[in-house]
Amino acid sequence: MNVGVNSARLNLRLDGWRSRLLLITLVSCFAGLIGRAAWLQGFHAGFLQQKGEERYSRVIEMPASRGIIRDRNGQPLAISTPSESIWASREDVELSPAQNKALASLLHMDPKELEQRLGSGRGNFVYLKRQVAPEVAQQIMDLKIAGLFQQHGFHRAYPKGEETAHLVGFTDADDHGQEGVELAYQKELGGSAGARRVIKDRAGHIIEDVENIRVPRPGKDIALSVDGRIQHLAYRELRNAVTVNRAKAGAVIILDTQTGEVLALANYPDFDPNNREHLSGAQLRNRAITDTFEPGSTLKPFTIATALEAGKVNPTTVIPTGGGQMTIGPSTIRDTHPFAALTVAQVIQHSSNVGAARIALSLPSETLWNMFTDVGFGQTPKLGFPGEAGGRVRPFRTWKPIEQATMSYGNGISVSLIQLARAYTIFADGGVLLPLSLTRVTAPVSGRRVISAQTAHQVSDMLELVVKPEGTAPAAQVKGYRVAGKTGTAHKVLGGRYANRYVASFVGFAPASAPRVLIAVMIDEPSGSSYYGGLVAAPVFSALMGNVLQMLAVPPDDPNSGAFDPSPIGTGSAEDT
């Protein structure tokens, strides 16, 4: 009996201990839960709210409209139009065979390619097509395909197409500038995107617009210095010249000599910025800005100007030219047209290499180097244009006599067409080197004096002789106007050696009595009946200058002059470099 009583008492004691332990455990758990809840609600409410909102709340980027690029007359060269991007969530896409076929057709894709893009790749997100027309995007969304979405944006359009392609450039699928003015002025044109918070359902549809977080700021419009009408003429004449002369490429630059504004800049081969599916590097190259070449005889006026400034010669000084031949060490310099002697003015008119070399060798090498660098050779033009080339002018301390001689007529030095055009402003603007501008100039322009006004006028008078029947470029004449300019025909350097391929060029300005327009023409590797600058590049200059002067209502300064008749060609229609 005593054993049974003791066992019952023991059992009662054990049951009480268990109940107390259970009670303490439960109270502790509840206390922990209450404490945790208080901690989360008191100190992590924002974090929890954010996680909750992520289930249904989204921040959507609101793209900004890109600024318009216009010409100097307000005509649009690049505009933004609304477009859509179609994207998919790979995990959520459900496509029937009929929907797959219809979607591929609207996207202009092969059905198998569409299946591959939806079935493989990194991540769940995939763009199916960017920059889709709004009406096409609506047709796609009307297919009611699960996991398929659209994103609002803008698409860049270029009304002038190929004519302004290299100048204006283009943007990528994200509307960021990639070439030309689009890249150079990305910061101004791009603006800044906005953002807004919305509530979406499981299907991704917006069911409530909650708030604007950031208002989009449209990009600024850019007014270029280019005149669309002149640009059209430049492109047309350049394309015709490259085609007729079966040339590799060409470039043209037209400047306002009063303001330094670029009125036109054209390149060929071209491309259509509205359709860039099949492009080559040759088409994209802005040769007027990024390519360099040996300028040939177009450099002779700078050699003559240097000698005039130094007091070594005057326009009537007679230079012995040795029957068109001069030997320096093992090398021989030759002229196309042999003369026993020529005045300094005739050295320019007949484009005598021997005469230019003798004048250059009478000067200290540093003096000639200073002239080349003062007009901008060997330095980037600083137009802000992507890919600007600086060219090459070797240090004067390394020049050998033969190198100084050949540099006097443009061999052993490299320049871009924009550099060459700018350098010639010292002859068109009374000795002052003008800063160039791709945007419209409204304030007075202040240039930098390089040579005296007297030297500039003397060289200008010599350049007028070049277009006379006895000069190298009678084909550059313009009816009713006095023209000043210089031809260039230079061998190309390939693999470190001169090859039988040429760059033909002409740089000139008019009216010579009061210059208003300067035009530089470069034709790369003409392979037609001629390759001389006077026969290949000068006619382009003539056609352009006549039209541009009339377009700008510039009065004639030589009403009695007539345009050059190309048949027969003048006796000095060629030059050798």
* Mean pLDDT on 145-172: 87
The encoded tokens of residue 307 equal 């000698």
* Mean pLDDT on 96-116: 83
pLDDT digits (tens, 9 = 90+) for 131-140: 788 888 888 8
- 136 vs 300 pLDDT, higher one: 300
Element (H, E) at 363: none
CB atoms closer than 10 angstroms to residue 130: 17
CB atoms closer than 10 angstroms to residue 357: 27
What pLDDT is attached to residue 155? Answer: 82
In this structure, of 15-19, 62-66, 141-145, the range with the lowest mean pLDDT score is: 15-19
What pLDDT is attached to residue 313? Answer: 96
The encoded tokens of residue 124 equal 């769940």
CA–CA separation, 327 and 575 (whole Å): 19
In this structure, of 37-51, 140-154, 283-297, 442-456, the range with the lowest mean pLDDT score is: 37-51
Of the CA atoms within 13 Å of residue 226, those in its CB half-sphere come to 29
**Distance set, CA 44 to CA 32, 34, 55, 492 (Å):** 16, 15, 18, 73
- 322 vs 32 pLDDT, higher one: 322
8 A C-beta contact, residue 181 and residue 438: yes
User: Does the pLDDT of residue 46 top 70, yes or no?
Assistant: no
Average pLDDT, the chain: 86
In this structure, of 63-67, 198-202, 504-508, the range with the lowest mean pLDDT score is: 198-202
What pLDDT is attached to residue 152? Answer: 78
310 phi-psi bin (left φ>0, alpha ψ -120 to 50, beta other): alpha
* Mean pLDDT on 249-255: 97
* Mean pLDDT on 193-204: 64
What pLDDT is attached to residue 113? Answer: 80
The encoded tokens of residue 407 equal 């540099």
In this structure, of 130-134, 295-299, 560-564, the range with the lowest mean pLDDT score is: 560-564
194: confidence class by pLDDT, cuts 50, 70, 90: confident
3-class DSSP state of 181: helix
Quote helix, strand, coil % in the chain, to nearest 5: 40, 25, 40
8 A C-beta contact, residue 316 and residue 368: no
pLDDT digits (tens, 9 = 90+) for 396-421: 999 999 999 999 999 999 999 999 99
CA–CA separation, 485 and 351 (whole Å): 12
573: confidence class by pLDDT, cuts 50, 70, 90: very low
The encoded tokens of residue 538 equal 């000068």
Element (H, E) at 86: strand 76-89
User: Does the pLDDT of residue 299 top 90, yes or no?
Assistant: yes
**Distance set, CA 254 to CA 184, 234, 268 (Å):** 20, 8, 15
* Mean pLDDT on 246-263: 97
What pLDDT is attached to residue 2? Answer: 52
Choose among 60, 64, 63, 54: nearest CA to 196. Answer: 60
What pLDDT is attached to residue 115? Answer: 78
User: Does the pLDDT of residue 263 top 50, yes or no?
Assistant: yes
What pLDDT is attached to residue 13? Answer: 52
Boundaries of CATH 3.40.710.10 in the chain? 228-551
40: confidence class by pLDDT, cuts 50, 70, 90: low
196 DSSP β-pair partners: 60, 212
**Distance set, CA 402 to CA 304, 310, 347, 357 (Å):** 18, 21, 19, 9
154 DSSP β-pair partners: 82
- Which fold would CATH assign to domain 228-551? Beta-lactamase (3.40.710)
Cα dihedral sign, 522-524-529-530: positive
Query: Considering the entire predicted model, what is its pTM?
Result: 0.82
Element (H, E) at 85: strand 76-89
User: Does the pLDDT of residue 567 top 60, yes or no?
Assistant: no
What pLDDT is attached to residue 571? Answer: 37
Percent of the chain with pLDDT over 90: 58
62 DSSP β-pair partners: 194
3-class DSSP state of 236: helix
- Which fold would CATH assign to domain 59-223? Penicillin-binding protein 2a (Domain 2) (3.90.1310)
Of the CA atoms within 13 Å of residue 451, those in its CB half-sphere come to 35
Boundaries of CATH 3.90.1310.10 in the chain? 59-223
* Mean pLDDT on 152-169: 91
**What residue type is 119 in one-letter code?**
G
* Mean pLDDT on 300-323: 96
Pinpoint the alpha helices (H) of 344-387. 344-349, 353-361, 365-374
Percent of the chain with pLDDT over 70: 86
CA–CA separation, 563 and 550 (whole Å): 14
Residue showing tokens 């000069």: 471
Element (H, E) at 301: helix 300-310
3-class secondary structure per residue, 114-149: HHHHHHCCCCCEEEEEEEECHHHHHHHHCCCCECEE
User: Does the pLDDT of residue 64 top 70, yes or no?
Assistant: yes
CA–CA separation, 250 and 522 (whole Å): 5
215: confidence class by pLDDT, cuts 50, 70, 90: confident
- 45 vs 302 pLDDT, higher one: 302
CA–CA separation, 275 and 254 (whole Å): 27
* Mean pLDDT on 262-276: 93
Catalytic residue among 297, 365, 414, 573: 297
Q: What angle do CA 70, 71, 76 make, to 5 degrees?
A: 40
189 DSSP β-pair partners: none
User: Environment class of residue 390 by beta-carbon count within 10 Å: exposed (0-12), middle (13-18) or buried (19+)?
Assistant: middle
Q: Between 300-310 and 453-466, two packed helices, what is the crossing angle to 10 degrees?
A: 140
- 559 vs 504 pLDDT, higher one: 504
Q: Is 297 a catalytic residue?
A: yes
Gyration radius of the chain over CA positions:
37
What pLDDT is attached to residue 569? Answer: 33
Residue showing tokens 């009996």: 1
